[in-house]
Amino acid sequence: MFGGVIIGFILDMPYLSRPKRAMAGWIFTFVTGMAIMGGGLAFENWFEGQELTRGAHFIVSGLACPRETTNRTYLALVWDRFDSGSSTSFIFPLGFPIALINS
């Protein structure tokens, strides 16, 4: 939510031209995204160095998981596909006619 407010302020700066505001928004999004992913990587590297990871090694893609997590990983992937598909099929018919009417 705070990111949306910041992007709104960046895109509403009156003293910059439209292309420069767009570039500032892209730069802000790229820099904050890289910082967040870098923080996640630092945490992951720290966690891998701890003793707590015994028996919890798995590949992110879900192809090489321990037996206990295979079913949960599969369920999460199936639920993700179901959720995105159902959201699209429910929301698109609501917005599409409105877009046609307003055009």
What global pTM score does this model have? 0.47
Alpha carbon distance 70, 61 (integer Å): 11
**Which parts of the chain register pLDDT below 70?**
50-73, 103
pLDDT of residue 50: 67
Torsion angle of the four alpha carbons 34, 40, 44, 46, in this order, in degrees rounded to the nearest 10: 100
Query: pLDDT tens digits for 43-52?
Result: 888 877 766 5
Amino acid present at 41: L
pLDDT at residue 54 in the model:
56
Residues in the chain: 103
For 21-30, which contacts have Cβ atoms below 8 Å and span 24 or more sequence positions?
none
What pLDDT score was predicted for residue 28? 92
What's the pLDDT score for residue 85?
81
